[in-house]
Chain A
Amino acid sequence: MSRMTMIEAIRDAHDVAMARDERVVVFGEDVGYFGGVFRCTAGLQKKYGKTRCFDAPISELGIVGAAVGMASYGLHPVVEIQFADYVYPAIDQIASEAARLRYRSAGDFTCPLVIRMPTGGGIFGGQTHSQSPEAFFTHVCGLKTVMPSNPQDAKGLLLAAIEDPDPVIFLEPKRLYNGPFDGHHDQPIVPWKKHDLGEVDDDYYVTPLGKAAIRRDGEAVTVLAYGTMVYVAEAAAEESGIDAEVIDLRTLLPLDIDTITESVKKTGRCLIVHEATKTGGFGAELMSQVQEACFYHLESPIIRVTGWDTPYPHAQEWDYFPGPARVIAALHQLMEE
């Protein structure tokens, strides 16, 4: 075990994967010589050579399109989109090509690739460095969508994603890159290296895709969260005094509906917290699925606490990003209904 930041855990996952499998290649804007703007690939070019880790032209469609070609050849490309906000030029290559290659060619060609991207807000990135586009990807059949909330999961999930025979969208909450978040906007980040959750297994291991984790046991209400919002949900549960169970989804698709259902059937109440805008967001999907599976067990309507339906603002970031206060209010509302 070593204590690592999430950035180091992600780099370590690349390193372990590249060492054990020659087919793993890594590229994207600035990822080679410099090691990426967040340094998630630092040192890999030096260690594995320029043809296994290299800089790409600023063309997201080119990066993903090249990766689709490489994956169909038999490599396992891991590409970085510098910020999730810049993935839109590549959506066609992701949704129409990567996601459907196996299906449309009846398995003749497959697309084992990982598209990593820093996502979400909380670092004053303004509207072009803060978006949470997960719902775009979960709506596409053929993709898997993952979002870790701590270094141990980030490494294990990334290794599972690299090993996966299908395309995986790997969303990295950049707010958590350097440390866990105590859920409060005005508090500084606690460095991972001083935190229990910074403990990461050395060497190779996988955290299976499609399995949620229960972060906090409780009997009164189930809170569904992922990425940064796991910490907000935990802080809210503590401060509200309500006996909430907090589930960290980890993988959005495939979704671990069994763990969710079991919890909601036990608690009878469900709160969904995400950072992305509300309308058409992944919370709507969660709400539908919980309602379909648990209707007769529900004691109150399911509630969502999410980012507002506006572009991500710069100066008002802390009012946009859901915080414990909004979650606590929602918990009380749930308990009173």
Chain B
Amino acid sequence: MSKTAPLHLRVPEPGCRPGDEPDFSDFVIPKAGEVDRPSLDVDPNAIREMAFSIIRVLNADGDAVGPWAGTLSHDELIKGLRHMLTLRIFDERMMNAQRQGKTSFYIQHLGEEAVSCAFRKALEKGDMNFPTYRQAGLLIAGGYPMVEMMNQIYSNSKDPLHGRQLPIMYSSKEHGFFSISGNLGTQFMQSVGWAMASAISGDTRIATGWIGDGSTAESDFHAALVFASTYNAPVVLNIVNNQWAISTFQGIARGGVGTFAARGHGFGIPAVRVDGNDYLAVHAVAKWASERARAGHGPTLIEHVTYRKGGHSSSDDPSAYRAKEESDAWPLGDPIERLKQHLIHEGVWSDAQHEAAEAEIRAEVIAAQKEAEANGTLGAGKLPSPRDMFEGVYETMPPHLVKQRQEAGY
């Protein structure tokens, strides 16, 4: 008989649950400007510690400091601020539209706007993103028309996807936005395949893959790292760590004491963490990683450290599993507020200008919404024809589908 004590299973728990006092004191945040900016062809082994630190540019005073500062002009930053404001107001209106029964479902970006908006500005035309449902900023910052996005959300007569996809599962090849799948993780692998194809073809375009912290547990994540590393694919692999996967805290998918970025180490992929609420830092890191890919130095793994302030989706109530005060206690602040303060600090922006911009953008979003609603909504009708349901399964409709379509009366 063994004398050792019975074994015990460890099930990680977050630091705080509803009713508890949020405490982020064990979350180590390096000072802005502290982390080095390595050369594009850096040996991944030389920057192993970057997978445990956090690249930050904006300090508490609103200064842009350190080696990652200076990738954007004031004008570009003001544009960036406007993109984030647009995304936030767009989300607000669409969440409301969902509550009013105009669509079935919505997913917002509250608190994470900098990640996709800033990243998009580091890419070039023709690059392909393989996003999750929380990167609509790639479309907004890429100039995709809001009316089209809303037509998709409303599944109306002008829905570019003919009512076949869940709201927010956009697709636009033209805007470098791959069709979103509802199955988590699958597209991380596909982004690597696309990047491999670009390299096989002697092209100059690169791909980006996107995945949530929770979904890194899917096998696709690991397969993507193997392929990206093996073939030195021109891809930027992004993990958006917004701390939560619906009600499950990030510690469940992460395991042990490592970081998500550190997973790149086993594959020899340079891996960095970035302050995802710092527009300047995200842009600088995105630019570095995309230049690396474009110069033939292969993949980079980026963990964007951020916080999902809102619910997971319109169907989720986060107060059931996390402390109400947690989002306010989040130590990396709000991305819009931080960029706004920086621009004010630089003397190129003001509260009055900010308010005016907000009002102007709100009017634009409302105008787009009116236009989209004139094409119909899921709640009030003017839906795509059921005939569309049978189209596009194959390029040419096979006889059995033609028969079924006729049977359905179309």
Q: Which residues of A contact B (CB under 8 A)?
A: 25, 51-52, 56-57, 59, 61-62, 65-70, 72-75, 89, 92-93, 96-97, 101-110, 141-142, 144, 165-166, 210, 253-255, 257-258
Tell me whether A66 and B179 are in contact (CB under 8 A): no
Residue of chain A at shortest CB distance from B395: A165
Q: Provide the bound-state CA to CA distance between A294 and B158, in Å.
A: 42
CA distance A169 to B216 in the complex (A): 29
Q: Which residues of A contact B94 (CB under 8 A)?
A: none
Contact check, B189 vs A142: say whether CB atoms are below 8 A apart.
no
Smallest Cβ-Cβ distance to A113: which chain B residue: B193
How far, in angstroms, from A61 to B183 measured CA to CA in the complex? 13
Asked whether B190 lies within 8 Å of A61 as measured between CB atoms, the reply is no
Given contacts A51-B199, A92-B183, A105-B161, contact A65 B392 (CB under 8 A): no
Indicate if the CB atoms of A69 and B192 lie closer than 8 Å.
Answer: yes
Q: Which of B18-26, B220-228, B257-265, B320-328 contacts A (4 or more CB under 8 A)?
A: B220-228
Known: A51-B200, A61-B189. A106 touches B171 (CB 8 A): yes
Q: A65-B186, A75-B197, A92-B183 are in contact. Are A106 and B400 (CB under 8 A)?
A: no
CA–CA, A101 and B165, complex, Å? 11
The verdict on B195 contacting chain A, using a C-beta distance below 8 Å, is yes
Known: A69-B196, A75-B200, A254-B400. A93 touches B189 (CB 8 A): yes
Q: List 14 A-B contacts (CB under 8 A).
A: A57-B223, A57-B227, A59-B226, A68-B189, A70-B200, A72-B178, A72-B194, A73-B193, A73-B194, A73-B201, A75-B200, A92-B183, A105-B173, A142-B394
* Cα–Cα distance between A255 and B403 once the two chains are bound (Å): 13
| A57/B399 contact (C-beta < 8 A), A67-B193, A70-B193, A97-B190 known | no
B290 within 8 A of partner (CB) = no
How many angstroms between the C-alpha atoms of A330 and B197 in the bound complex?
51
Which of B164, B173, B201 sits near A75, CB closer than 8 Å?
B201
Q: Report the bound CA distance from A294 to B138 in whole Å.
A: 54
* Contact (A104, B393) CB under 8 Å given A59-B226, A65-B189, A210-B398: no
Asked if B115 CB lies within 8 Å of chain A CBs, one says no
With A and B bound together, what is the CA distance between A78 and B181 in angstroms?
23
Say yes or no: A57 contacts B226, CB within 8 Å.
yes
Asked whether, in the complex, the Cβ of A104 is within 8 Å of the Cβ of B161, the reply is yes
Confirm or deny: B172 has a beta carbon within 8 angstroms of a beta carbon on chain A. Answer: yes
Q: Which residues of A contact B178 (CB under 8 A)?
A: 72, 109
A73 lies within 8 A of B128 (CB): yes
- Once A69-B193, A73-B197 are accepted as A-B contacts, the answer to whether A257 and B226 lie under 8 Å apart by CB is no
Do A61 and B219 touch across chains, with their CB atoms under 8 A apart?
yes
- Mask, B188-214, CB within 8 Å of A = 1, is 011111111111110000010000000
